[in-house]
């Protein structure tokens, strides 16, 4: 009979825990008022298609994809984010276990000796030996008001938010590696141009010295050639330094060392990065951004914590008990008639706490207010980020077309000046000016192209990227 009562009590506690009501407010996603679409003229694929593009399909350069894979495997920030996610997941598991009864097995022996005449009227010492084997119910809370369930919901939401934080780091890493790679490619090409220019200036300086020795060049010509050579050499050193620093930064992103077994890198002009997606999308695509989802999940956790704080005003029922066998000897521990049990229900009700419970509720409500504001701010910042990147991409595309036309004009001008110089119709100073203008135009175009590619990589991140 007692066994049936015991198991019925445990079953009732489990049912109460699983069917507990919650005192948390009904959650409703905050309404954020902003423009429904972004203003941009580029035609784009549908939202679902955009959101499902993995980075492996966006970046077609095999060298870049190898760098990204290496970064995903070895980047320290990403590993830290993954470790934090696993930590919060484990905490969720710990809290989730509190919703179900916990039991343990205990085996023990109690021995005591009481001298004669101490605490009893016996004239002889009293020896007691007791052996116990029990299955114990460990302080289980009957969750009438949903306090434990709300704690579990808060832990689950925090874990999900941590997983979204990990995705933020993942997307940011992919974008940063792409931008670092594009910068290295840009600087590598500029380094080649600077080396070629310095070599040309060296040859011109040597030729001017020979002309001076023959009386065909003046000291002014030599000084001009020397100044041009020094400027070209200084520019080459500056570019080489920036290139090495960019490579070091890229190596840090991929885990400390650039892989040596990757395919040849493609120049910037050969990057087949789609520039036709991301516009004409409804602004609700931002709800899929991991940072926005993380902010909303933390808001859900704050909402659940209000239920926890409200439940603290109400009684709490704790169940503790055990069932097993007890005997004076180890051999008789499981004999007939050695059954033992205990059942200790405890009802706790707050009486006087001098405002502590009320203060905890005020804290929970204040934290929800902060979470609502953080969610709204995150969403509005996300909208502005996408809008800025769409404008930047559109204007950079137009600027690239203008820069390309400028480079073509300067190259045509340089060809004409080369002919005139060979015919003696132009001097070295005229040729030097045209060469400098042509090089500046090429460098400016390459910088715009790098910015355009980098903006597209950032836009992919800003729109939430894909799951790849």
Give the start-to-end residue ranges of the domains of the chain.
1-19+103-142+315-348, 31-99+143-184+249-314+356-462
Nearest by Cα to 465 from 293, 291, 289, 296? 289
pLDDT at site 120: 57
Is residue 110 a contact partner of residue 330, using CB atoms and an 8 Å limit?
no
**By three-state DSSP, how is residue 332 classified?**
coil
Work out the angle between the directed axes of helices 356-422 and 290-311 (0-180°, nearest 10).
170
Q: Which long-range contacts (CB under 8 A, 24 or more apart) does 73-78 make?
A: 73/255, 74/254, 74/255, 74/256, 75/173, 75/253, 75/254, 75/255, 76/255, 77/169, 77/173, 78/166, 78/169, 78/170, 78/173
Question: Using CA atoms, how far apart are residues 401 and 395, in angstroms rounded to an integer?
Answer: 10
Structure tokens at 307: 């239920």
7 — pLDDT class (breaks 50, 70, 90): very low
166 — pLDDT class (breaks 50, 70, 90): very high
* CATH architecture assignment, domain 1-19+103-142+315-348: Single Sheet (2.20)
Given a cut of 80, whether residue 465 has pLDDT beyond it is: no
The predicted-structure confidence for 255-298, as pLDDT tens digits, reads as follows 888 888 888 888 888 887 765 555 556 667 788 889 999 999 99
pLDDT at site 373: 94
Question: Using CA atoms, how far apart are residues 96 and 148, in angstroms rounded to an integer?
Answer: 8
Q: Where are the beta strands (DSSP E) in 308-449?
A: 316-327, 339-348
123 — pLDDT class (breaks 50, 70, 90): low
Average pLDDT of the segment spanning 64-85: 91
The predicted-structure confidence for 404-443, as pLDDT tens digits, reads as follows 999 999 999 999 988 888 888 877 778 888 888 898 899 9
Average pLDDT of the segment spanning 74-80: 89
Structure tokens at 3: 């066994």
Question: Using CA atoms, how far apart are residues 46 and 232, in angstroms rounded to an integer?
Answer: 50
Given a cut of 90, whether residue 238 has pLDDT beyond it is: yes
The answer for 249, left when phi > 0, alpha when psi is -120 to 50, beta otherwise, is alpha
Given a cut of 70, whether residue 103 has pLDDT beyond it is: yes
If one counts every other C-beta atom within 10 angstroms of the C-beta of residue 36, the result is 7
**Alpha helices, DSSP H only, in 254-275?**
none
Which DSSP symbol is given to 335? S
Given a cut of 80, whether residue 360 has pLDDT beyond it is: yes
pLDDT at site 37: 59
pLDDT at site 36: 58
Q: What is the pTM of this model?
A: 0.82
Q: Which of 34-43, 178-187, 285-294 has the lowest mean pLDDT?
A: 34-43
Q: Tell me: domain 31-99+143-184+249-314+356-462, CATH 1.20.1600.10, correct?
A: yes
pLDDT at site 182: 94
Question: Using CA atoms, how far apart are residues 192 and 354, in angstroms rounded to an integer?
Answer: 75
Average pLDDT of the segment spanning 149-166: 92
Asked if the domains at 1-19+103-142+315-348 and 31-99+143-184+249-314+356-462 fall in one CATH topology, the answer is: no
Question: Using CA atoms, how far apart are residues 135 and 151, in angstroms rounded to an integer?
Answer: 27
pLDDT at site 242: 95
Most confidently predicted of 159-163, 281-285, 322-326, 427-431: 159-163
Is residue 159 a contact partner of residue 89, using CB atoms and an 8 Å limit?
yes
Mean model confidence pLDDT for the chain: 83
Half-sphere exposure of 272 (CA within 13 A, CB side): 7
């Amino acid at each position: 009979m007692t066994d049936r009562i015991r198991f019925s009590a445990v079953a009732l506690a489990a049912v109460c825990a699983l069917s507990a009501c919650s005192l948390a407010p009904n959650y409703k996603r905050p309404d954020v008022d902003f423009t429904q679409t972004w203003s941009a003229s580029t035609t784009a694929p549908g939202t679902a298609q955009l959101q499902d593009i993995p980075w492996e399909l966006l970046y077609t350069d095999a060298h870049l994809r190898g760098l990204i894979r290496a970064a995903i495997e070895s980047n320290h920030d990403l590993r830290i984010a993954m470790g934090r996610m696993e930590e919060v997941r484990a905490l969720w598991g710990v809290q989730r276990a509190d919703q179900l009864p916990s039991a343990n097995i205990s085996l023990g022996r109690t021995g005591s000796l009481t001298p004669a005449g101490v605490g009893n009227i016996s004239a002889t010492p009293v020896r007691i030996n007791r052996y116990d084997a029990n299955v114990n119910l460990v302080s289980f809370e009957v969750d009438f008001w949903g306090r434990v369930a709300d704690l579990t919901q808060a832990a689950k939401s925090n874990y999900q938010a941590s997983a979204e934080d990990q995705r933020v780091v993942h997307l940011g890493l992919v974008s940063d590696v792409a931008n670092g790679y594009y910068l290295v490619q840009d600087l590598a090409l500029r380094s080649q141009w600077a080396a070629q220019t310095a070599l040309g200036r060296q040859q011109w300086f040597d030729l001017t010295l020979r002309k001076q020795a023959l009386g065909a060049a003046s000291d002014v010509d030599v000084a001009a050639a020397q100044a041009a050579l020094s400027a070209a050499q200084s520019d080459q050193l500056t570019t080489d330094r920036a290139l090495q620093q960019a490579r070091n930064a890229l190596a840090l992103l991929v885990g400390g060392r650039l892989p040596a077994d990757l395919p040849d890198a493609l120049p910037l002009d050969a990057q087949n990065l789609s520039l036709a997606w991301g516009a004409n999308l409804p602004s609700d695509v931002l709800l899929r951004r991991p940072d926005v989802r993380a902010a909303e999940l933390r808001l859900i956790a704050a909402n659940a914590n209000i239920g926890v704080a409200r439940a603290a005003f109400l009684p709490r029922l704790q169940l503790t008990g055990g069932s097993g066998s007890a005997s004076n000897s180890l051999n008789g521990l499981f004999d007939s008639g050695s059954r033992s049990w205990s059942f200790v229900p405890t009802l706790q009700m707050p009486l006087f706490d001098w405002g502590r419970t009320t203060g905890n509720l005020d804290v929970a409500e204040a934290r929800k207010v902060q979470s609502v504001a953080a969610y709204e701010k995150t969403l509005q910042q996300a909208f502005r980020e996408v809008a800025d990147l769409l404008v930047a991409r559109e204007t950079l595309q137009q600027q690239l077309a203008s820069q390309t036309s400028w480079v073509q004009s300067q190259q045509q001008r340089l060809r004409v000046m080369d002919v005139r110089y060979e015919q003696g119709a132009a001097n070295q100073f005229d040729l030097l000016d045209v060469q400098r203008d042509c090089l500046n135009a090429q460098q400016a175009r390459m910088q715009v192209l790098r910015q355009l590619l980098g903006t597209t990589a950032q836009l992919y991140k800003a729109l939430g990227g894909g799951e790849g």
